[in-house]
Structure 1
């Protein structure tokens, strides 16, 4: 026997129907139907077959779901409980706009009419991910920092830079401190160091032309020296240091050697001198004595 029975006489009429199998009574009120939960009665011994009984029908109580979106989770929970509702499934999601710990969404939505004690599911924000600052760090360190922030390394390009040393990060995108979601790619630009150029081939050019060529290549003329060259006309460039084709940083200096042309030497007069005296005089004149006949030397 159930405890929901109330003793008393009750004369059934055609406005009521008792579904004993399902344990429900439908009370026809003219404007609608109400459902009431009752306790099913087992009467195996037929003890109540000659008795009448009445059932108490209780009106279900509804309440409006409050708006808890944007509230911090503890406040949202308290708000639901004060509205005689229960907190249902709670999930977490990232959000760029909803602060950490606040409610992103709720179900049922605010303003819906539900039975008291119904559950309201909440979606709580875990906030965004802040992009770490990796500028001026080594490429390997930058990659590790990006991955540690649960982001991914995006496009990586290598650029020449006059300021940032080779191998360091010149720039990143998104910038440091930007709010993004998990897995967002971070693009990196890595320095190749100062721009480099090849030393132009200046051999055989006049000095002024050679210097102009260096300036056009973002190089500077360094020390200029000269030497006698019988195979290069005077005033033309004989050689450069570094050599033509060498890759150097821009604004490097290139030393030049200019030809003085063939060296002209006056041959000394050794007539009447002994072989030894003549040889010494010829050597002193930067010449090489050659014996062409007995008693004579040139």
Structure 2
């Protein structure tokens, strides 16, 4: 056996040498020494010579305990007796004999066990018994047995070893343990190596395994509440990290590990992630970029490409971005979509569009007009072409017999009323078409049944606009000398008005083809009569101004200065329009 360091340091002050030697304990007398008596240990030693190497002292040691013999007697070269006081300094356990001589410190390889029986069986320990250890103790102490080492053994195996040792076991107690597997022995009493009378009881404590706790749900709690909830469940706070979240507010828990509802050992750590809120980025400027460049810029900013639509533009070259939503510089959540519109270039004019350049000083007090104006009122064919193109591009939709805006500023507003019996445009098999009346192809007749919103949408679609009422009058009165759009006077050879019905149509509207009457002034047709023309001007409230008179009104109403008005959302067969462009 190895000499403990604490003991070695004690004996090094006596001698520089320390070694073990073979030998045995012959006897301890009396074997049951009553407290206060002396006990004599008889040794038979080999590997040393007590006569050649004179003994200087004899001790017993166990752990940090050291008891010096009161006296000793060398009986021969290899035999020694030592007398010890057992008045209370000897404790239960395994003791070793140490001998100090001139050559150093020697300790006996053999040992003995000290235990404390109750000789009078009155429940009081009244003697210190010495028994030879190992192969000797059962012979010396018949009726006694060693307690086996039972720790970490499964309960059934431990109980069997207790039976095999001639002992009995009590009902095992149970405790939670983080280190001993469930069902295995945690502790035993008495400890392993102790000597007990046969039939004595060995008490065991068996592991129930780690004490488990159900992981609480932390998601959407703030950090403080989450930590308190973990502690209340008998668990510990693990790693707390932060991350962005699109749906959990800043400061609240996004996720946890282990998940809520799992059963884990008490004291185990629960990690969780706290939200930093939505990660925001700045929308890049993509107007004027090519589509591929715009998409690359959006993705590079941590955003996604949203809806990409196309429309004609008179100001942005084909293939470049016209507009975007959200606008450049706005802060939005990472991963949000950015929509943009790509230019198709200038919208080709509808078939038959003819332009007249006008440079007029204008009506006094209202400014001049310098731009292009359409020579004719917009025709059924041209508006039908627009409806088909706008339907294909998703800019209009049909509900019942009416056409409504589906995009832009006037989405949801009525554009054209096909249900009215005076309508000249119908819809069938996926497209709009112009009707025939009384043998006449109505394609070159001016469109009616158009609301102000419908006229505005047509103009915007092709990059045009409606003239203001004062621009219209500047063009209509020519150099200021015209009373009517057809000159200083009006009659049925110059204009379609006052229900003249020159084509002899069987019903309303009694319109004539554009260009049926001569051009006047700057070269414009039908600036008097045929259909009223919507302008971009407000009369009052939401009402919009109409100019020029129509086929069913008197000549007076056809004068250049006459102002009519109507609701912008109500189509009528006598209401049409013409457009201007830069």
Using structure 2 for the length normalisation, give the TM-score: 0.30
CA deviations on 1:185-227 (whole Å, 9 max, x unpaired) are 111236779x755352326533433333123234104243558
Equivalent position of 1:106 in the other structure: 188
Structure 2 counterpart of 1:84: 167
Aligned counterpart, 1:274: 482
Q: Determine which of 274, 283, 299 is the counterpart of 1:215.
A: 299
Distance 1:211-1:274 versus aligned 2 partners, 3 A rule: farther
Answer yes or no: is 1:151 the counterpart of 2:359.
no
**What are the Cα deviations for residues 48-99 of structure 1, in whole angstroms up to 9, with x where unaligned?**
xxxxxxxxxxx68431112322345576467547633676996835124x32
Q: Distance in 2 between matches of 1:286 and 1:274?
A: 20
Structure 1 runs not aligned, ≥5 long: 1-14, 40-58, 289-295
CA shift, 1:238, in A, is 5.5
- Tell me the residue number matched to 2:289: 206
Residue 138 of structure 1 pairs with residue 219 of structure 2: yes
Shift of 1:157: 2.6
Which stretches in structure 2 are left out of the alignment for 5+ residues? 1-28, 44-80, 84-113, 122-140, 347-369, 374-474, 486-520, 538-559, 562-582
1:287 and 1:174 mapped to 2: Cα distance? 65
Counterparts of 1:216-255 in structure 2, within 5 Å, are 216-217=300-301, 218-224=303-309, 234-235=316-317, 237=321, 239-244=323-328, 245-250=330-335, 252-255=337-340
Instruction: Indicate whether 1:70 and 2:70 are aligned.
Output: no
- The equivalences for 1:185-204 within 5 A come to 185-189=269-273, 196-202=279-285, 204=287
Q: Deviations over 1:217-241 (max 9, x none)?
A: 3410424355869xxx524656422
| Alignment root-mean-square deviation, CA | 5.7
1:54 alignment counterpart = none
* CA-CA distance at 1:266 after TM superposition: 0.9
Number of residue pairs the alignment of both structures matches:
241
Structure 2 counterpart of 1:94, from 157, 177, 184: 177
Give distance in 2, aligned partners of 1:61 and 1:30: 24
* Partner SS for 2:324: strand
CA displacement at 1:25 relative to structure 2:
8.3
* 2:257 aligned partner: 172
Which deviates more from structure 2 when the two are superposed, residues 120-129 or residues 168-177? 168-177
Q: 1:126 to 1:287 in 2, by over 3 A?
A: closer
- C-alpha distance in 1, partners of 2:371/2:313? 12
CA contact (8 A) 1:152 1:186 kept: yes
Inter-partner Cα distance in structure 1 for 2:185 and 2:209: 11
Normalising by structure 1, what TM-score? 0.51
Verify: 1:183 aligned to 2:289, yes or no: no
Equivalent residues of 1:86, 1:119 under 8 A apart? yes
Distance 1:159 1:24, change over 3 A: closer
SS at match of 1:266: strand
Alpha carbons 2:215, 2:261 under 8 Å: kept: yes
Give the SS at the match of 1:212.
Answer: helix
3-state SS of the aligned residue for 1:70? Answer: coil
Kept after mapping to 2: 8 A contact 1:196/1:250: no
Deviation at 1:29, TM superposition (A): 10
State the alpha-carbon separation in 2 of the partners of residues 219 and 26 from structure 1: 96
Bigger relative contact order, structure 1 or 2 (CA pairs below 8 A, ≥6 apart): 1
Q: Which deviations, in whole Å up to 9, do the C-alpha atoms of 1:19-44 show, x marking residues without a partner?
A: 9xx899889897899999469xxxxx
Q: Which structure is larger by alpha-carbon Rg, 1 or 2?
A: 2
8 A contact 1:221–1:256 mirrored in 2: no
- C-alpha contact (below 8 Å) 1:95/1:126 kept by paired residues: no
Counterpart CA distance in 2 for 1:275 and 1:227 is 38
